[in-house]
Amino acid sequence: MVMAPRKNVARSLRRWVAAAALFALAPVAACETYDSPPRPEIEGLVDGLLADRDAPIVITFSEPIDPATLKVKIVELEVDVEGNLADEDADEATVLNEFFGYDPETNNIFGGESELLGGNTRFRITPTVTLPLGPSLAILIEAGLADDAGKAWAVRQRLVFAYKLECDGTTGGTDKFPSGTYFFVANVAKPIQTQIQLWGKVYVDPATGQFRGQFTNADRNPDPNRCDPPCDATQACRLLPSEECVTPSEEAGTEDEYPDYIPNEVPPVGYSFTVGGCVVDTGDSVAFVNLPADVDIQQPDVFVQGIQLVASFKDDGGVLRGTGPVTAEKVFIGETESGAASGTLVARQVPDDEVPPGIPEPPPE
């Protein structure tokens, strides 16, 4: 019988003791809970939407907050391709479009009245300005929000929302949103992060504001010869913002990259769906919303129930552009229900002479 060296036996014994100690401590560690700073939420938010634009906005907190640490803004949600707000990017010239502000430390309070309620667990905002209908908005709670014990957030909290728009036939007509072809880029955040590009043929009745449209999947143009030298068979040629061979799944940076996309309605990858909806003149902009529609995609196997595109369109130097939220009631990946979908979108009208061929028309009513 060969005996192990004393050094190896001692080392093994130390390892056994250390492992036993860790095992003994494991239940204690597992019982420990993370005490987060106060978690904010928007009261009454359903699928990213609030129902009543005239009602106060209420922020609820998971525990009482230290009032001295609360600094709040309501802004229009406009982000760059990296998801940064105007005051978070590298350009100091860009600024937030702010509708409400609350900062007692600097006495910078504007755009409405506010009050802490419920033992400092609810913050009610009554705007004195009319918040826009259509675009995504955000409540920004600045870094430093803390509970009574001093547990504080080190980063800004961003709560995204928009107002629900009903197409009930009573909104009236407008000539600010013409019939035509539009290009939509939807950045979905939940249930999975992905980007969807859509071509839309939209026909509006200017007397009622009601529209009928056909939305079709947009894929990168597969022609490799658009680039010089040509791309290989596994790549697509991107011309905007600069010429480059990219993977076909490369996301669009902005809605202005529409020349790189062609419609694809042919299954299993392609798809197209018909929508109804309305446009509403809201003064300096036009709100756009489609009635909930279903989208069936064969590859990948995805069924989207009740998709809605909501946007606020404005004239931007002669180009009609829109921003807003995209939502869906349920998303099924295969046979598995993955919950509701939410994200943001950008869109623009495309000149008739730049519209690619083959975009499907909506069927007759």
With pLDDT > 70 as the criterion, what percentage of the chain qualifies? Answer: 89
**What angle (nearest 5°) sits at the alpha carbon of residue 344, between those of residues 342 and 347?**
135
Phi-psi region of 118 (alpha: psi -120 to 50; beta: other; left: phi over 0): left
pLDDT of 187 higher than 60: yes
* Model pLDDT, residue 171: 67
CB 116 within 8 A of CB 67: yes
In the structure, what pLDDT confidence band is assigned to residue 64 with cuts at 50, 70 and 90? very high
Listed residue (189, 187, 185) closest to 198, CA to CA: 185
Other residues' Cβ atoms within 10 Å of the Cβ of residue 243: 11
Residue type (1 letter), 127? P
23-49 tens-digit pLDDT:
344 444 445 566 789 999 999 998 788
CB 117 within 8 A of CB 124: yes
Listed residue (350, 347, 349, 328) closest to 134, CA to CA: 347
pLDDT of 10 higher than 90: no
- Of residues 47 and 243, the one with the higher pLDDT is 243
What are the structural domains, with CATH classification, of the chain? 40-163 (2.60.40.1220), 180-221+255-354 (2.40.128)
93-130 tens-digit pLDDT:
778 889 999 998 898 999 999 999 999 999 999 999 88
In the structure, what pLDDT confidence band is assigned to residue 13 with cuts at 50, 70 and 90? very low
Q: Is 268 exposed, middle or buried (0-12, 13-18, 19+ CB in 10 A)?
A: exposed
> Residue 14, SS3?
helix
* Model pLDDT, residue 173: 83
Look up residue 277 and give its two tokens: 């909806």
- Of residues 137 and 59, the one with the higher pLDDT is 59
* Model pLDDT, residue 135: 67
213-222 tens-digit pLDDT:
999 999 999 9
pTM exceeds 0.85? no
66-96 tens-digit pLDDT:
999 999 999 988 777 677 888 887 777 778 8
In the structure, what pLDDT confidence band is assigned to residue 355 with cuts at 50, 70 and 90? very high
* Model pLDDT, residue 26: 46
Distance CA 311, CA 294 (A): 19
CB 47 within 8 A of CB 329: yes
